[in-house]
Amino acid sequence: MDGKSVFGPRAGYYMQSRPDYPTAVLTCLRDVYGLEETAVIADIGSGTGKLARLFLANGNPVWGVEPDSDMRAASETYLRDFPGFTAVDGTAEATTLPNASVDFVVAGQAAHWFDRVGAQKEFGRIGRPGGKIALVWNQRDRDTLLVQGFDHLVQTFRQTSTELRRANAAPADVSALAGPQAELHTFPYGQELDFAGLAARLMSISFMPLPGDPQHEALLAALQAFFAAHEVNGRVQLTYRTELYIGVLG
């Protein structure tokens, strides 16, 4: 299993529990970078379609390029009410999209898996002159005690033997992928979860033990204790800093 297929078994958890993206991302792209409703979007590593939905709701046609069949199927179900969405079996390095067909190349929670050289070449091929690239991450806000406790669970139960190397894990790698003139914008964001949602959020992480794994029950027990210590009216809030990197294609 590699970075292009690791999330397939987790598609349901991902759909259930991963946070959406703040509308501030769309507002920034529209007001600062000239995103129009007619702009064609290629969402690379589109997963279950959470970032694509932000653009579809703005009226943009979106190509959702996703190599994993389970994630792709989930996106088609999730976005079935948007006729402007087209799911594509492709990768960042080989999207299968036509030359010069895209105004904005975007990626949400995915660009750290891309091969930078191959992806940059492909984005240059599919991008129109003057096109933009937008890379988005919902990063957990590790200044908060609740997120620190959540991260402690992740570190305690992570399956290091199956951990995959992310090609663009460092900020410098991300900036390089978005281009030398890339600009960074950050926005605060939050997500309220009940216990079932918090458990699904944990299971959506690529190296957490899934049901059937010997460590899964121990993880759930630890998560129940964590939730009991932090819940207010049956819910906890994970806080995020949404990072948006903007660059120019080509």
Domain total of the chain: 1
Supply the mean pLDDT for the chain: 89
Q: What is the mean pLDDT of residues 203-224?
A: 91
CA dist 168 and 3 (Å) reads 12
Among 104-108, 199-203, 230-234, which is the least confidently predicted range?
Answer: 199-203
pLDDT at residue 8, as a whole number: 57
Confirm whether 15 is domain-assigned. Answer: yes
Confirm whether 59 is domain-assigned. Answer: yes
CA dist 150 and 39 (Å) reads 38
Confirm whether 158 is domain-assigned. Answer: no
pLDDT in tens, 49-92: 999 999 999 999 999 999 999 999 999 999 999 999 999 999 99
Given a cut of 80, is residue 188 above it in pLDDT? yes
Q: State the DSSP string of 55-105.
A: HHTTT--EEEE-S-HHHHHHHHHHTTT-TTEEEE---SS---PPTT-EEEE
Locate 43 and state its tokens.
């969402």
Confirm whether 232 is domain-assigned. Answer: no
Q: What is the mean pLDDT of residues 177-193?
A: 90
CATH for 38: 3.40.50.150
* Dihedral in degrees, nearest 10, Cα atoms 9, 190, 138, 49: 50
Confirm whether 24 is domain-assigned. Answer: yes
Confirm whether 74 is domain-assigned. Answer: yes
Confirm whether 85 is domain-assigned. Answer: yes
Q: CB of 97 within 8 A of CB of 123? A: no
pLDDT at residue 244, as a whole number: 95
Residue 37: which domain range? Answer: 8-138+163-189+240-248
Q: What is the mean pLDDT of residues 198-211?
A: 89
pLDDT at residue 108, as a whole number: 93
Locate 143 and state its tokens.
């200044």
pLDDT tier for residue 93 given thresholds of 50, 70 and 90:
very high
Confirm whether 213 is domain-assigned. Answer: no
